[in-house]
Amino acid sequence: MSEVVNIIAGKVKSRMTERDDSVSELGFPMFVIGEIQVLGGMEREVADVNVGPVPCQLLVFRRPKAA
């Protein structure tokens, strides 16, 4: 499953980089079962996806750059 997540995240990252260069600074994708705690000031984006018959969520977290 981790490899599938890595492939999907790589494709999403390459598409998003066209609109926002800062996406290229994203770290490695992770496969997580359970909840992820969002720290203060972090931004979060969520996309519901299906990997075959399995419903999943793709989450991207980042800290905004200082102005």
Q: Could you tell me the residue ranges of all domains in the chain? A: 2-62
Residue 13 has pLDDT above 70, yes or no: yes
Both structure tokens of 64: 């905004």
pLDDT of residue 27: 72
Both structure tokens of 59: 């989450």
pLDDT of residue 51: 77
pLDDT of residue 67: 55
pLDDT of residue 45: 84
Is there a contact between 46 and 57 (Cβ–Cβ < 8 Å)?
yes
pLDDT tens-digit map of 20-65: 777 777 777 777 788 878 778 888 888 888 878 988 887 777 777 6
pLDDT of residue 35: 81
